[in-house]
Amino acid sequence: MWLPTFYVVLLFNIFKTVLCQFTVANGIYSFGYFNGTSKAKLSNVLDVLRPQTGFSFRTCMDHGTLFYQRNIIGDSITLKLDNGDVIFSLQSVVDNINTSVSYEGNFNNNEWIHVMFQHNSTTDQGSNLYLSIGNHTNLLYNSITDPTIFNMEFSESSVTFIGGNEDPNENFNGCLSSGPYFNFQAYNGTNVQWNNCPLLNTNICGPRCNDSVCNNGSCIATNTEISC
Ligand SMILES: *[C@@H]1O[C@H](CO)[C@@H](O)[C@H](O)[C@H]1NC(C)=O
Ligand SMILES: *[C@@H]1O[C@H](CO)[C@@H](O)[C@H](O)[C@H]1NC(C)=O
Ligand SMILES: *[C@@H]1O[C@H](CO)[C@@H](O)[C@H](O)[C@H]1NC(C)=O
Ligand SMILES: *[C@@H]1O[C@H](CO)[C@@H](O)[C@H](O)[C@H]1NC(C)=O
Ligand SMILES: *[C@@H]1O[C@H](CO)[C@@H](O)[C@H](O)[C@H]1NC(C)=O
Ligand SMILES: *[C@@H]1O[C@H](CO)[C@@H](O)[C@H](O)[C@H]1NC(C)=O
């Protein structure tokens, strides 16, 4: 499902406004660099059922968790990069279901990719929750046919991470920027360089690891270079 062009333009303008406000107040950061060993636990909760909420990421790397939220009973929502694609997944203990939606694309192209949850209410056909990754928009759930997410409660007792989840091997490597109704009120950020994004210095990505590049020895890639 595609958004009408004017609406995409509107979304972009909202994000542009947000991206230009690189201000810091009281531990509310607007953007930061995550180096692959970083993540930040937020003190605020993301409510994806607001009319619009989102953030942006920028990376050259294939994998990593962008955002993770779990409530006290173990229900969770996760957004991660996998092979350059983006996967949204939901795990509900109460309803005993796990679902996921994939967005295929080269989202690890060192451009700002905007993530936007959009919750549209209608009356007799329930409400719809959409998720846009860049210019790809999918209907995630309808409140009548797929009510799980609409019944999940993420309150102050929930755990919210950006740039990682509870598994240390899933960390993101790149930049994250706050967006509409998604402040980065971080406490307990580990190795995050707030108000810095070295990827802004270049529009291209460095070389990528493959079998031949290190004579089949182990290869470590960062966003800008590789080392053997
Ligand atoms: C959902 O995933 C979790 C974690 O991988 C697993 O423990 C659980 O059994 C799964 N539930 C269903 C219904 O597949
Ligand atoms: C959601 O509702 C708004 C306002 O009614 C509309 O402009 C927008 O196109 C809708 N979004 C989707 C994905 O249908
Ligand atoms: C979506 O974005 C890609 C890459 O930025 C671009 O090539 C493509 O034309 C865009 N599609 C639409 C429908 O805007
Ligand atoms: C932050 O980390 C400290 C020390 O590791 C811990 O005591 C504290 O509970 C953490 N705060 C939150 C909100 O997780
Ligand atoms: C392996 O990576 C190097 C450096 O990025 C590149 O020059 C080369 O073409 C790649 N080889 C293959 C088979 O992808
Ligand atoms: C690296 O591995 C590939 C395939 O696994 C093999 O074809 C190639 O000869 C190896 N190169 C070296 C330098 O060992």
Q: What is the pLDDT along the chain (228 residues), one digit of tens a residue?
A: 344 443 444 444 445 444 444 444 456 778 999 999 999 998 888 899 999 999 999 999 999 999 999 999 999 999 999 999 999 999 999 999 999 999 999 999 999 999 999 999 887 899 999 999 999 999 999 999 999 999 999 988 899 999 999 888 899 999 999 999 998 886 777 889 998 999 998 888 988 888 888 888 899 888 888 898
Ligand 6 pocket member 217 (CB < 6 A): no
Domain range for 90: 5-200
Assigned domain for 221 exists: no
Question: Are 200 and 189 within 8 A, CB to CB?
Answer: no
- pLDDT tens for each residue of 16-48: 444 444 444 456 778 999 999 999 998 888 899
Assigned domain for 20 exists: yes
Assigned domain for 217 exists: no
Number of structural domains found in the chain: 1
Ligand nearest to the CA of 112: 3
The pTM (predicted TM-score) of the whole model is 0.81
CA distances for 216 relative to 10, 30, 209, 210, 221, angstroms: 47, 40, 10, 8, 14
Assigned domain for 207 exists: no
CA gap 222, 110 in Å, rounded: 12
Assigned domain for 43 exists: yes
Assigned domain for 179 exists: yes
Ligand 6 pocket member 211 (CB < 6 A): yes
CATH code of the domain covering residue 41: 2.60.120.200
Ligand 2 pocket member 7 (CB < 6 A): yes
Ligand 2 pocket member 194 (CB < 6 A): no
Give the count of beta carbons closer than 10 Å to the beta carbon of residue 136. 17
Residue 216 CA: nearest ligand 6 atom is 1
Question: Are 133 and 86 within 8 A, CB to CB?
Answer: yes
Ligand 3 pocket member 135 (CB < 6 A): yes
- Residues 6 or more apart whose CB falls under 8 angstroms from that of 81 comprise 57, 59, 61, 62, 63, 64, 65, 66, 87, 107, 108, 172
> In terms of DSSP bridges, do strands 64-70 and 127-133 run parallel, antiparallel, or are they unpaired?
unpaired
CA of 221 to the centre of ligand 6 (A): 19
Assigned domain for 225 exists: no
Residue 159 CA: nearest ligand 4 atom is 14
Assigned domain for 219 exists: no
